[in-house]
């Protein structure tokens, strides 16, 4: 299969920063591993029923060496499961603070670090398993002679076998937790929303409006992992040889790449303090632009 991918306030703030950092990490990894806009990004070849993965890098990393591509790819992959784990942590903490006192910031940071450990291990052990062109080229010519990858315009690399520990760990970490995590997120969302709805009658109009925004945000965030589920199912279908099609091949990354931006966007859209902060920034820029334009006009008149 050939894939050619085109291109409370403290608690809420902690979650927002967490998701923002994930988005920045994925964006920076993507810019290093994938190419600039307007070009083909990179090819990801899966051999159904076999144990070989082949990458053709067309990103900026090909100008800095294969090690940069390998590390960038490893960081790129580890951000996806970390985003899902972080979303589970966000819902779990919302449920926790409804029934218990808020934990200290130090404890919260420690929990975030513990949640990050599986993804960090994935990032550290995956990139050394990606071999250079000389080793992977015979596999590419054997399985995909029609693509003539020996003359590919890009940096060729890959994994000769996915039977080693690192590859098995990465595949299991990417594909395994998403399904139980998705169920847990829906259960937590149901409990949190029921608890908030019970308390709505005792709240003032302003607090009711705030809780309504939170409920909308929770509803959208609970649906975010479904995007990753589609990518996982697409990958498993191709890797196991169940079904292959160009649309399926594109969907592996096309579905998962936008996922990390949705959660921060829901905060900016539905949580009033964040929305007002962004509006003030936009308004300030408009005022500065209008003042600069008036200054230019006065200068011309003078």
For the segment 11-56, what is each residue's pLDDT rounded down to a tens digit?
Answer: 333 333 343 343 344 444 444 444 333 333 445 555 554 567 778 8
- Please check the confidence at residue 236 and state whether its pLDDT lies above 70: yes
Interatomic CA distance for residues 18 and 125, integer angstroms: 23
228 Cβ neighbours under 8 A, 6+ residues apart: 80, 83, 84, 178, 255, 256, 259
Query: Can you name the residues that pair with 46 across neighbouring β-strands?
Result: 53
Domains of the chain by start residue, with CATH: 2-289 (1.20.1070)
- At residue 40, the pLDDT reads 36
Residue 259's pLDDT is 73
* Structure token digits, residue 219: 């509803």
Q: CA nearest 63: which of 40, 37, 38, 31?
A: 31
β-pairing verdict for 2-5 and 155-159: unpaired
Burial of 12 (0-12, 13-18, 19+ CB in 10 A): middle
What percent of the chain is modeled with pLDDT above 70? 72
pLDDT in tens, 285-301: 554 455 555 544 444 44
- Confidence band (pLDDT; 50, 70, 90) for 94? confident
Structure pTM? 0.67
Question: How high does pLDDT run on average in the chain?
Answer: 73
How much is the pLDDT for 44? 53
pLDDT at position 105 over 80: yes
Distance, CA of 98 to CA of 101 (rounded, Å):
8
Please tell me what DSSP assigns to residue 54.
E
Least confident of 16-20, 56-60, 267-271: 16-20
Cα distances (Å, whole numbers) of residue 234 to 3, 6, 179, 249, 301: 12, 17, 14, 7, 64
Q: What is the mean pLDDT of residues 246-251?
A: 71
């Amino acid at each position: 299969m050939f894939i050619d991918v085109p291109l409370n306030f403290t608690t809420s703030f902690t979650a927002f920063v967490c998701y923002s950092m994930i988005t920045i990490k994925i964006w920076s990894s993507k810019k290093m591993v994938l190419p600039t806009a307007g070009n083909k990004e990179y090819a990801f070849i899966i051999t159904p029923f076999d144990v070989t993965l082949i990458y053709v890098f067309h990103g900026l990393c090909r100008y800095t060496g294969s090690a940069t591509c390998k590390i960038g790819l490893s960081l790129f992959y580890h951000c996806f499961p970390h985003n899902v784990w972080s979303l589970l942590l966000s819902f779990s903490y919302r449920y926790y603070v409804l029934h218990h006192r808020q934990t200290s910031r130090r404890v919260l940071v420690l929990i975030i670090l513990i949640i990050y450990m599986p993804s960090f291990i994935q990032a550290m052990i995956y990139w050394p398993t990606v071999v250079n062109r000389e080793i992977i080229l015979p596999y590419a010519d054997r399985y995909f002679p029609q693509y003539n990858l020996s003359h590919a315009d890009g940096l060729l690399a890959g994994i000769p076998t996915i039977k080693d520990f690192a590859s098995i760990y990465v595949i299991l970490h990417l594909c395994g937790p998403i399904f139980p995590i998705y169920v847990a997120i829906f259960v937590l969302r149901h409990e949190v929303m029921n608890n908030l709805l019970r308390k709505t009658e005792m709240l003032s109009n302003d607090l009711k409006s705030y809780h309504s925004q939170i409920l909308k945000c929770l509803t959208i965030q609970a649906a975010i992992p479904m995007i990753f589920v589609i990518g996982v199912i697409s990958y498993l279908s191709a890797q196991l040889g169940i079904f292959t099609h160009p649309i399926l091949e594109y969907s592996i990354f096309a579905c998962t790449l936008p996922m990390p931006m949705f959660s921060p966007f829901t905060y900016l859209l539905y949580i009033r303090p964040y929305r007002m902060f962004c509006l003030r920034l936009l308004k300030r820029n408009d005022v500065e632009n209008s003042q600069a334009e008036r200054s230019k006009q006065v200068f011309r008149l003078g």
